[in-house]
Structure 1
Amino acid sequence: MPITDLVLNSHTLDLVFEKQNLNGGKRVYGFNGNFQVNNNIPGTLANTFIPNYDSFTGGVFIIQRWVTQGFEFEAGLRYDFKLFDAAGYRYSYNTEGSEITEQYYGGHSKFHNVTGSFGALWKINKNLQLGSNLGLAWRAPTANELFSNGLHHGAGLYEIGDPNIKTEQGYKWANSLKYYRERLNFTLDAYVQYINNYIYSEPDKTFRQTVSGTYPIFRYKQTNASFFGTNFSGTYHLTKELSYKFNASLIRARDLSNSKFLPYVPSDRLDQHIHLNFQFKNLSNAWIQAGHGFVRRQTRYKPESDYAPPPGSYHLFQLSGGATVKVSEQELGLNLSIDNLFNGLYKDYMNRYRYYTHDMGRNITLRLSYKF
């Protein structure tokens, strides 16, 4: 007998009309629609995690792009609306565990908003570009954020939603610097964002006992939040066959309403790889790559606000390679990758299973592809 039995039917419709100009500019009109029907199948003998619901989301937009010799500009305007209708029952027992109380929950909700963006790209020279974008965004709450009340088996925790959650509204300014040369190219991104009514789940610091065990409780909440961060990605070609890749990212976030750190914000991390292309006998497109990743311990959190403090920093190593073999008139592709090469023990702050176990150990993947 399943603990959870759901049937979700989804239908999407996207319509886009583009009008191209001779100078490279264009205008785009479009519509995005999504209709979902979620039903809980009776017979599980357990409280439903989320109620039955019908959801319809639609949006219309227009985007205009202008192109000049040294600049590109783009502006967009969009209107979205969402209709949401939920209905479900929760069951609870009395202290003796005999009498069952049935409680109806759900309701009909409407959400809508107007958003827009404006961006510019400055082609400083043939090797250097600078882009900037200002945007307004929004997001309507989901079914689990509104109504979840049960054990989330996919995350190993007990989630409780809030039916009074409002839509998120965000204001973002993003900038990007891109540099291209024959041997060196990199992209540096920086952004700052303010989100009104930011939706997140927070550790409740209490537990819920179920027939399958005891689980930590997370509650969905809202606050006004700020985010800023940067990402760097670059590649340097030491030779035609040998290259070095480097990626790094950091993000900072604050709960402005309560003057504290937000929970579950990604830690600082960097990844680097050495990639070598080579030829060997009957092999073509042969390559080998060695990689290293480092994730720093998350120090931006409020002490005693979680069931366990953030795990420590960790290093991960990776090795992969591949080649193509000619088989008569066809091609056989071989690809082997080994993640967590040295089988290190580590826990990722963003993985809520860290309360129970370490993350995945050494993982070996072999892929074969055959082209007829």
Structure 2
Amino acid sequence: MKRYLLVLFLGLTTFLQAQNTITGKVTDTKNNPLIGVVVYATEAHKSAKTNENGIYTLTELPNGEETLVFSYVGFAVQNKKIQKVQNTQTLDIVMDEKAFQMDEVIVSTPFSKLQSQNVMKVDRESVKSMQEKGSATLIEGLATIPGVSQVSTGTSIGKPVIRGLSGNRVLVYTQGIRLENQQFGDEHGLGLNDAGVENVEVIKGPASLLYGSDALGGVLFFNPEKFALANTFQGDFGQRMFSNTLGSNTTLGLKASTDNWKYLIRGAYTTQSDYKIPDGDRVTNTRFQEMDFKAGIGYSNAKFSSVFRYNYNNLDLGIPEDGIADQTTTKKTAFPKQGVSNNLFSLNNTLFFSNSKLDVNLGFIQNDRSEFEDSDVAVLHMVLNTFDYNVKYYLPKIGKVEAIVGVQGMSQNNKNLGEEYLIPNATTNDFGIFATGIYGWGSNSVQAGIRFDNRHLVSDEHGIAAEEGYFESLDKKYDSFNASLGYKTDFAKDLTFRLNAATGFRAPNLAELSSNGVHEGTFRYEIGNSNLKTEQNLQTDLDLEYKSTHFEFSVSGFYNHINDYIYSSPSGVEIDGFKVYDYIQNNASLYGGEAALHIHPHPLDWLHIETSFETVTGKLQDGGYLPQIPANNWDNTIKTDFKIGKWLEDSFATLNVSTTLSQKKISGFDIPSDGYTLLNMGFGGKVNLGKTTFDVNLNGNNLLNKTYIPHLSRLATSGIPNLGRNFVLGVAFKF
């Protein structure tokens, strides 16, 4: 039997092999060959580097379309789409010295278009650029993107907010699968480490057509780091130090690839003490420790690509309940605290046919969450297991029409192992079916899609009726039809206009349906409502974008109407001294937008002037404002590029002034917040000492040691400010 299986495997392997090759020469505008240009084939997930003559070669590429990305330090990234890869083709490239990075391939939206061709506006930010701003955590870096903010508890816990929506209204994707980690909880952070993450794509607006329930407010799509170039081995080491928290972050990664096989492994460790506020005191028990491990293995040829990735993340988080009490610089967490571990497995497969392809993405996540009050015995212990699948078939092109059909869903089980129950034991099953297509002519594109989803939620009865902690059994089904329609055109050269309208939905979560007790960290008694209906929204987005060699400008506006918006509201009564909050529904609307300007004046090629403004307002239909709406922000940066001899290259210096306005439009348990301005500076570059090369950056954040309280800080009710002056030193090198 083994012999027959071996013959079958060898036969299949032979069938999957092909000889499609693309080769060419890469030069600068003076016809000088460029050595070391990275060439990446996005469909095949294969890469190569130019040799001493500027020549590159990519072999065993799939039939059909392929996009090649050419990147080289100091030059503008180039993207070239090849409509039909067959046999051996030659593609020579001339690269220009860059002013801006002009275009990027967007993965989170259908068809993996270049941003200039994409019907939806998507913001993309690299982890490296976020770290260069001095961000201590991944969520802190995300909050620097216009339209994105965070609900925070000190430096350790942060939840993303997109245009005023958060929690289960924002879907997070990592390694190609949805991240499920009990997002309903105020003290349940993102649970992702930036080590091994290349960049993040942000969809601001309903993306239920692509991702189903919980993508009502938007999607954060984290792209993992690429594997090593073919037939190479490489390693890297990075170290960051934080003065305010006396903290450190260390990461080490190793990669190796052959023509077909690729491997990677990465570890990271972060430890932070209690953060210090401007008056010199430390906020007790905001310390945390995080361990992260990632591994991956992939195989690809002309007919098949498969990538398996694994991520283990472990968090030991202090919960700050006493405010400013014991003063210590220890990194060992005190009680109360959380212990959170995530095991994430993903398998991403692509089958290439002559004129079409099939994507099959499978994932499994185990989120193990414990809370310890005064001993090492967890009083709250929840285990959430989620199996996720996403199957998409890219149909053969018919003229200028591209189309995708697919099925998507998940099977989820929540189990309580502690004596306290925050939500009941439950099983949730999602199933969705969708179709989307795009038609392009000239500089115009129209994209449309439709989708149907079903969610079936069953929960167990628990506790004694009429007492705190009692949950009745539930058996709920939620259905939703959604559609999207978008149009993109170029009004003139470099001037792009986009108009999108899309519906989205969100089924109520277990906390909203079942809560019956004092909610952790909020000191209020919450009562769920088993009769809650599905939230349904319609959002219209308008985007105007101009990009040229030395000038960029964009303005985006949105109006988002949500039927049956779910929120907690004080009932006017108390139980055991705690105010009672009920989950109720009301129609709501959110509106606002972002504007950004980037000037790179000629002939001052070393100078960048950037400014951006973001605003959002959320209102209930019958009067009043929505809770937890971020304050308006105006951000200004001056950046200079420079070089000092041969020992300091690709260097930069930045001066940033970030002004957050006051937020007086409040509701529910919010409190008004004052405005503030922060001054930040940064410096970095590539240092060459003999044969040793490494990257270094130094940041000073809140240099004036300003005392401020962000509107979305969960410590605001106690009057506790955010951290004071903080210096961040980072060093990274490859070997």
Partner of 2:660: 295
Q: Name the counterpart of 2:628.
A: 264
1:322 pairs with one of 674, 681, 684: 684
Q: C-alpha separation between the residues in 2 aligned to 1:206 and 1:112? A: 34
Residue equivalent to 2:585: 222
Which amino acid counterpart does residue 67 of structure 1 have in structure 2? Answer: G
Q: Pick one of 380, 391, 406 that aligns with 1:15.
A: 391
The 3-state SS of whatever aligns with 1:166 is: coil
Corresponding position of 2:456: 83
Q: Find the residue that maps to 1:312 and give its secondary structure.
A: coil
What does residue range 171-190 of structure 1 map to in structure 2 within 5 Å? 171-190=538-557
Deviations for 1:343-369, whole angstroms, at most 9, x for unmatched residues?
221112222321112223333333332
For residues 15-60 of structure 1, give each alpha carbon's deviation from its aligned partner in whole angstroms, at most 9, with x where no partner exists.
1222363866421122222222111113x4xx31111111122222
Query: Which of 252, 277, 281 is residue 641 of structure 2 equivalent to?
Result: 277
Rate the CA distance shift 1:285–1:157 in 2: closer, same or farther, 3 A. Answer: farther
Q: Deviations over 1:331-351 (max 9, x none)?
A: 422233333222221112222
Tell me: CA distance 1:342–1:3, structure 2 relative to 1, closer, same or farther (3 Å): farther
2:497 corresponds, among 123, 126, 130, to 130
Partner of residue 53, structure 1: 426
Return 5+ residue gaps in structure 1 as ranges.
94-99
CA distance in 1, matches of 2:572, 2:430: 35
Which amino acid letter does the alignment assign opposite residue 359 of structure 1?
Answer: N
Secondary structure class of the residue paired with 1:7: strand
Mapped to 1, the partners of 2:538 and 2:712 lie a distance apart of 25
- Report how far residue 224 of structure 1 moved: 0.5
C-alpha distance in 2 between matches for 1:22 and 1:336: 53
Cα displacement (A) at 1:92: 9.0
Secondary structure, counterpart of 2:378 in structure 1: coil
Report the alpha carbon displacement of residue 178 of structure 1 after superposing the two structures with TM: 0.6
The 1-side partners of 2:572 and 2:692 are apart by 59
Aligned equivalents of 1:207, 1:368: Cα separation in 2: 54
Quick one: distance in 1 between partners of 2:386 and 2:632? 36
TM-score, normalised with respect to structure 1: 0.86
Deviations 1:291-338 (A, max 9, x none): 121111122236xx54x6302111122222222234665642223333
Unaligned stretches of 5+ residues in structure 2: 1-376
Check the 8 A contact 1:60/1:79 in 2, yes or no. yes
Does the Cα contact within 8 Å between 1:73 and 1:118 map onto a contact in 2?
yes
Structure 1 residues 218 and 244: alpha-carbon distance in aligned structure 2, compared to 1, 3 A threshold: farther
CA distance in 1, matches of 2:572, 2:724: 29
Q: Which residue of 2 aligns with 1:144?
A: 511
Does residue 1:34 correspond to 2:410, yes or no? yes
1:371 aligns with 2:724: no
Give distance in 1, aligned partners of 2:594 and 2:542.
11
Distance 1:274 1:156 in 2: 43
Offset of 1:180 from its aligned partner? 1.2
Scaled by the length of structure 2, what TM-score is found?
A: 0.45
Cα 1:154–1:274, aligned 2, differ >3 Å: closer, same or farther? farther
The alignment partner of 2:462 has SS state of strand
Residues 23 and 67 of structure 1 are in contact (CA less than 8 Å); yes or no, is this contact kept in structure 2? no
Q: 1:277 to 1:24 in 2, by over 3 A?
A: farther
CA–CA separation in structure 2 for the residues paired with 1:271 and 1:102: 45
Aligned pair in 2 of structure 1 residues 320, 118: CA closer, same or farther (>3 Å)? same
Distance 1:155 1:20 in 2: 53
| Alignment correspondent of 1:116 | 483
Query: 2:409 is paired with a residue of what secondary structure?
Result: strand
Alignment of 1:326-365 (within 5 A): 326=688, 331-356=693-718, 357-365=720-728
CA distance in 2, matches of 1:272, 1:20: 46
Matches within 5 A, 1:187-202: 187-202=554-569
How many Å apart are 1:103 and its aligned residue? 3.7
Distance, in Å, in 2 between the alignment partners of 1:330 and 1:26 is: 49
- The 8 Å contact of residues 330 and 371 in structure 1, kept in 2 or not, is answered as no
Q: How many residues align?
A: 355
Residues in 2 aligned to 1:141 and 1:118: alpha-carbon distance in whole angstroms: 26
How far off is 1:216 after superposition?
6.3
Q: Which moved more, 1:60-69 or 1:79-88?
A: 79-88
After the TM superposition, list the runs of 4 or more consecutive aligned residues in structure 1 that deviate by more than 6 angstroms: 205-208
Structure 1 distance, partners of 2:595, 2:550, is 17
CA distance in structure 2 between the aligned counterparts of 1:277 and 1:154, rounded to whole angstroms? 46
Residue 90 of structure 1 and its aligned partner are, at CA, apart by 3.9
Call closer, same or farther: CA 1:128–1:114 in 2, change over 3 Å: same
Q: Distance in 2 between matches of 1:344 and 1:49?
A: 38
CA distance in structure 2 between the partners assigned to 1:156 and 1:327 by the alignment: 56
Q: Give a deviation string over 1:207-264, Cα, whole Å, max 9, x none.
A: 766xxxx8765543210012221211221113312111111111222211x2222222
Give the Å deviation of 1:115.
Answer: 0.2
Q: Secondary structure at 1:250's aligned position in 2?
A: strand
Match of 1:240 among 583, 598, 605: 605
How far apart are the structure 2 equivalents of 1:197 and 1:317?
41
Is the CA contact (8 Å cut-off) linking 1:122 and 1:130 kept in structure 2? yes
Matched letter for residue 414 of structure 2: N
- The Cα RMSD (Å) is 2.7
CA contact (8 A) 1:156 1:352 kept: no
Q: Distance in 2 between matches of 1:3 and 1:362?
A: 37
Partner of 2:511, secondary structure, is helix
Is contact 1:292-1:315 (8 Å) kept?
yes
- Going from structure 1 to structure 2, the CA distance change for 1:342 and 1:134 (only over 3 Å counts) comes to same
Deviations 1:147-206 (A, max 9, x none): 233444466665443222110011111111011122211111111121110122345677
**1:355 is paired with a residue of what secondary structure?**
helix
268-277 or 102-111, which deviates more: 102-111
Separation of aligned partners in 1, 2:470 and 2:387: 31
C-alpha distance after superposition, 1:85-125 (max 9, x if no partner): 112424699xxxxxx88844231111111100110012111
* 1:72 to 2:445 alignment: yes
The separation in 2 between residues aligned to 1:81 and 1:241, in whole angstroms, is: 54
